[in-house]
Amino acid sequence: MQMTLTNFEGFVEAKIVERGYDYYRRGRIAKVEQVDEGEFSAIAFGSDDYEVYVKLDGERIVEYECDCPYDWGNTCKHAVAVFYQIRYGNFTGNSSDKFNSILKEIPNKDLRKFVINLLKRDRNFRRKFLREFDENFEDDEDDEFEEDYY
Ligand SMILES: [Zn+2]
């Protein structure tokens, strides 16, 4: 059986479902943005702020990740809270057209300059960039920052 927006409770530890639902109800998830068809990005407010990404294929949850330290091989409450928010339709319209039309207008030179500035200042972006484009990249992060896909 595959995990979907309507049955995910059966795939997640009961106490995490409960905590995630509580998180959702208390509005601890900042507005969920639909960044492309079926793809969502959100911030979860906790002792720290965590980034949550969810990818759907129709109702099916095909991929998700949260950058919180909860990495015992199980879904975290932040992801659960975002599932609820998506299930109940609390998300923005699709931003991908906006992204594309802005990107189309940016001169290459300006885009490169922007990326270089981010590479210098934003450690998370730098790691993602190197993981994607540097064939010698070795992730030396401790487990805390490991991304979970499942
Ligand atoms: Zn999390």
pLDDT of residue 89: 94
35 part of a folded domain: yes
Number of domains the chain contains: 2
Q: How far is the C-alpha of 93 from the C-alpha of 95, rounded, in Å? A: 6
Same domain for 74 and 44 = yes
* Other residues' Cβ atoms within 10 Å of the Cβ of residue 39: 17
Which residues constitute the domain of residue 42? 8-94
Same domain for 62 and 32 = yes
140 part of a folded domain: no
Ligand 1 centroid to residue 44 C-alpha, Å:
8
Ligand 1 centroid to residue 26 C-alpha, Å:
16
3 state DSSP class of 17: helix
Same domain for 28 and 89 = yes
pLDDT of residue 70: 78
Same domain for 46 and 106 = no
Low-confidence residues of the chain: pLDDT under 50 = 143-150
Q: 104 Cβ partners below 8 Å, 6+ apart?
A: none
pLDDT of residue 82: 97
pTM, 2 dp: 0.79
Q: What is the pLDDT of residues 110-125, one digit of tens each?
A: 999 999 999 999 998 9
148 part of a folded domain: no
* 149 closest CA partner among 67, 30, 48: 67
Same domain for 17 and 45 = yes
Ligand 1 centroid to residue 107 C-alpha, Å:
36
Same domain for 77 and 109 = no
147 part of a folded domain: no
